[in-house]
Amino acid sequence: MDKDFIEKYIYDNLESVDECIIDGEGCNFEISIISNQFLDMTMLQRHKLVMAIFEPFLRSGELHALSLKLKTNQEI
């Protein structure tokens, strides 16, 4: 899995993404997302939302680990 695929996948599957920064390689990535879709969501709800969109890749082993930093525009 590569960074370009992950970035496109995030923009295609989340709403109102203003920024997406991806670091890592292979099957381990650190992803920072700024999106107003996270408004009124707890940190746990945000993580569950993002992990759910990547679930097929985590189950298949294409992704092994994701470290997430998820914020709204108001939190930066």
pLDDT tens digits, 62-76: 999 999 999 999 999
Count up the domains in the chain and report the number. 1
Query: Which secondary-structure segment (H or E) carries 60?
Result: helix 43-60
**Residue 9 buriedness (CB in 10 A; 0-12 / 13-18 / 19+):** middle
> Per-residue confidence at 1, pLDDT binned at 50, 70, 90?
confident
CATH number at residue 29: 3.30.300.90
Both tokens of 17, joined, read 């993404």
SS3 57: helix
Prediction pTM value: 0.94
